[in-house]
Amino acid sequence: MASPLDHSPTDSADDLAALQGAWEQTGFEENGVPNPPDDHGAAGALTLIRGKHFEVRTVSGELLLEGDFTLDASATPKAITWVDSIGVDAGRQLPAIYRLEGDQFVFVAADEGMPRPQAFRTSMGLTMRSFVRKR
């Protein structure tokens, strides 16, 4: 029987396929503080993923953030790197980890230059967002 630590080269492709579509933000934590003011999201904001591109939009459709990402499902925990194309983090590589379980998606991102997070909690310089698939 395969161990959960065993990964195949298709794991990242499988996760990329599973991420496609719309995700509604259900939780936000930054610098260890739950639900602080959020410059890149809003209540009910949707993250739309197409290929390796993402957009974050308000319920009314206003674009808040967009960019691209790469996945490495062979890492433990699974790794994702976000690169915003607009806003204060434009062009910066933000190292993150993610968990994708069915219709639940969670990631914890660090500020550029920080080490990739290793746990699903925040402290200074870390942001955690939780999502549910929007159907």
79: domain CATH number? 2.40.128.20
Q: pTM score, two decimals?
A: 0.88
Q: Domain for residue 38, yes or no? A: yes
Q: Which helix (H) or strand (E) holds 15?
A: helix 11-19
Q: Domain for residue 123, yes or no? A: yes
Residue 100: how many CB atoms within 10 A of its CB? 19
Name the DSSP letter for residue 78. -
Q: Tally DSSP H helices, then E strands, for the chain.
A: 1, 9
What's the confidence (pLDDT) of residue 128?
A: 95
pLDDT tens for the chain, 135 residues: list them.
344 444 455 789 999 999 999 999 999 999 999 988 776 666 678 999 999 999 999 888 999 999 999 999 999 999 999 999 998 899 999 999 999 999 999 999 999 999 999 999 999 999 999 999 997
What's the confidence (pLDDT) of residue 35?
A: 83
What is the separation of C-alpha 37 from the centre of its chain, rounded to a whole number of angstroms? 18
Q: Domain for residue 104, yes or no? A: yes
- What is the C-alpha to C-alpha distance for residues 81 and 78, in angstroms, rounded to an integer? 10
Q: Domain for residue 34, yes or no? A: yes
Q: Domain for residue 82, yes or no? A: yes
Q: Domain for residue 117, yes or no? A: yes
Written as six digits, the tokens of 1 are: 């029987």
DSSP track, 35-73? S---SS--TT-EEEEETTEEEEE-TT--EEEEEEEEEET
What's the confidence (pLDDT) of residue 38?
A: 73
Domain count, the chain: 1
Q: Domain for residue 5, yes or no? A: no
Q: Which residue range forms the structural domain that includes residue 69?
A: 11-133
Q: Domain for residue 35, yes or no? A: yes
